[in-house]
Chains A and B, each alone.
Chain A
Amino acid sequence: MNGALLDWFRDPANWTGPDGVPTRVAEHLRYTAVTLLIALVIAVPIGAWVGHTGRMRWLVTGANAARAVPTLGLLFAVSMLVGPLIKSDLAFVIPSIAVLVLLAVPPLLSGTYAGIESVDPEARDAASGMGMTGSQVLWQVELPCALPLFLSGLRSATLQVIATATVAASVSLGGLGRYLIDGLASRDYTQMVAGSVLVALLALVADGVLALLERYAVSPGISGRASRVARTRATSRATADSTLSVGPAGATALAGTSSERDRT
């Protein structure tokens, strides 16, 4: 098996053309990027607004309750509903992206919301005490403080999208999932395993990149990297650990209230 797998990766035919690894990886990344962009545009303003005003929290709870719907079913149902309405090559792409967006929104929404919700009220009070307006408080205090939870929401959304984009090959979407689904259809187990290895690698690399982003984008004062802050916070170490720790399960930290890493 391993020999066959190595041969697959060594075969130049698998590295060129529309079915080559570079093309498939690029496709997969493109779907993921487009989906996340659309989902961010939808989720961040709503999450920030709900967190800032404290109104309409049911939006976040509602988005999370939808998790029980099996993603595969959603993918098939939407493709069958929307697919026939579109008369171009996009007939497969649009329904898949729509479902991917639907799946990426809840973790982003609850990440943004929970992040802003969890901002220390004293920090918020101090900001208004300094004369900041509502939008200044949001931009200069609440959003930077919300960054850790928002980024763990972004990580779960990204993984969810990468995983589901793979499954979406069964509704004719391109990307790395093609190797898995086409390999299954032609009983080419080597190709399936090779595709699975690539998907797993892509997910691990994407998660690693976001973990680095989480590490360097979050203000040291918030992440506890600044030593002075670390010392004063040492007493509340346990809480800081569970909210700010780096790790894909970072989203798990906010699971108690709302979001959880969605999986496909």
Chain B
Amino acid sequence: MTWALDHLDEILTRAVQHAWLAGLPLVLGLLIALPLGWLANRKAWIHGTLLTTTGLLYTIPSLALFILLPSILGTKILDPVNVIIAMTVYTVALLTRTVADGLSAVDPATRQAAVAMGFGPVARVRSVDLPLAIPVVAAGLRVAAVSNVSIVSVASLIGISQLGYFLTDGYARTFPTEVWVGIVACVLLALVFDLVILGIAWLLTPWTRVRA
């Protein structure tokens, strides 16, 4: 406890780095997964191809991906960009299916009503389908967020600065307190992500709280 208080500044700095490495890919991943999920939902063959491809990418273990990306992208191994890209890949893999599921769960009657009211295809997706898919997409995002926070800590093995540093450093120095501080900090960060996503989804879906 004393150790944690003495190193509060360092913990906060690394927590911000960790939040950045885990959070930015969530936003990027969502932005990529939305159109992909929409495409997957329109044609059966796109559905199969997309989900198989993203599934294969998801299969590659994170430490291997962190090491492989520099040789594919030509980046430096210590470049945090590798982690951002790897995490974005995982997020997209996870969310494409969620977005497709969320969109396909929209009641066809609602969709027809929107068409009958004169919504064009784009306007319908934007103002009817997507908002209705928010709860499902948010559930997928929460899973992705928790898993991202955990995976990012692995990047400390190759020397990327974030909360995982306390894990590797504590282990190297045989100093369990530091490892536990790192674990608790990661869990707390995951919790913060979870609450933020829940909060945003809550704000975006006021109609779910209207009593009949």
Chain A: how many interface residues by the 8 Å CB criterion?
A: 52
| Contact B94–A249 (Cβ < 8 Å) | yes
Asked if A73 is at the interface (CB within 8 A of a chain B CB), the reply is yes
Closest-by-CB residue of B relative to A164 is: B61
Main secondary structure of the interface of A (DSSP, over half): helix
Task: Give 24 A-B contacts (CB < 8 Å), ordered by A residue.
Answer: A68-B146, A68-B191, A69-B150, A70-B150, A70-B167, A70-B183, A73-B180, A77-B179, A77-B180, A81-B176, A195-B67, A196-B68, A200-B59, A200-B64, A200-B68, A203-B60, A203-B61, A207-B56, A238-B105, A247-B52, A247-B97, A248-B56, A248-B59, A249-B97
| Contact A249–B61 (Cβ < 8 Å) | no
| Contact B77–A189 (Cβ < 8 Å) | yes
Asked if B157 is at the interface (CB within 8 A of a chain A CB), the reply is yes
Given A196-B64, A204-B56, A263 and B150 contact (CB-CB distance below 8 Å) = yes
Closest-by-CB residue of A relative to B194 is: A68
Question: Which residues of A have CB within 8 Å of B150?
Answer: 67-72, 263-264
Asked if A62 is at the interface (CB within 8 A of a chain B CB), the reply is no
- Chain A 72-107, CB-CB to B under 8 Å as 1, else 0, gives 111011011100000000000000000000000000
| Contact B55–A249 (Cβ < 8 Å) | yes
Q: Name the one of B90, B101, B104, B163 contacting A263, with C-beta atoms under 8 angstroms.
A: B90
CB distance from B20 to the nearest CB of A (A): 17
Tell me which residues from 164 to 205 in chain A have a Cβ below 8 Å from any Cβ of chain B: 166-167, 170-171, 177, 180-181, 184, 189, 192-193, 195-197, 199-200, 203-204
Q: Name the one of A70, A199, A263 contacting B186, with C-beta atoms under 8 angstroms.
A: A70
| Contact A163–B97 (Cβ < 8 Å) | no
Q: Name the one of B51, B93, B179, B187 contacting A68, with C-beta atoms under 8 angstroms.
A: B187
CB distance from A91 to the nearest CB of B (A): 14
Asked if A260 is at the interface (CB within 8 A of a chain B CB), the reply is yes
Question: Which residues of B have CB within 8 Å of A71?
Answer: 150, 154
Asked if B158 is at the interface (CB within 8 A of a chain A CB), the reply is yes
Given A70-B153, A70-B183, A76 and B71 contact (CB-CB distance below 8 Å) = no
Closest-by-CB residue of B relative to A68 is: B190
Asked if A255 is at the interface (CB within 8 A of a chain B CB), the reply is yes
Asked if B25 is at the interface (CB within 8 A of a chain A CB), the reply is no
Asked if B8 is at the interface (CB within 8 A of a chain A CB), the reply is no
CB distance from A193 to the nearest CB of B (A): 5
Q: Name the one of A184, A189, A207, A245 contacting B157, with C-beta atoms under 8 angstroms.
A: A184
| Contact A262–B147 (Cβ < 8 Å) | yes
Interface centre among A73, A77, A207, A247 (most CB of B within 10 A): A73
Question: Which residues of A have CB within 8 Å of B56?
Answer: 204, 207, 248
**A247 to B56 CA separation, bound complex (whole angstroms):** 8
Interface centre among A203, A207, A248 (most CB of B within 10 A): A248
Given A180-B63, A196-B63, A197-B68, A72 and B180 contact (CB-CB distance below 8 Å) = no
| Contact A73–B190 (Cβ < 8 Å) | no
Question: Which residues of A have CB within 8 Å of B93?
Answer: 249
- Chain B 154-187, CB-CB to A under 8 Å as 1, else 0, gives 1011100001100110110010100110110011
- Chain B 94-131, CB-CB to A under 8 Å as 1, else 0, gives 10011001001100000000000000000000000000
CB distance from A157 to the nearest CB of B (A): 13
Residues of chain A touching chain B, judged by Cβ–Cβ distance below 8 Å, are 1, 5, 67-74, 76-77, 79-81, 159, 162-163, 166-167, 170-171, 177, 180-181, 184, 189, 192-193, 195-197, 199-200, 203-204, 207, 238, 242, 245, 247-249, 252-253, 255-256, 260-264
CB distance from B81 to the nearest CB of A (A): 17
Stretch of B9-17, B135-143, B199-207 on the interface side: B135-143
**A204 to B191 CA separation, bound complex (whole angstroms):** 31
Beyond A196-B63, A263-B90, 19 additional pairs, beta carbon < 8 A: A70-B164, A70-B187, A72-B168, A73-B182, A74-B183, A163-B62, A166-B64, A167-B154, A167-B157, A170-B157, A184-B157, A196-B65, A196-B67, A199-B63, A245-B51, A247-B97, A248-B59, A252-B94, A263-B150
- Chain B 66-82, CB-CB to A under 8 Å as 1, else 0, gives 01100100000100000
**A255 to B67 CA separation, bound complex (whole angstroms):** 29
Asked if B149 is at the interface (CB within 8 A of a chain A CB), the reply is yes
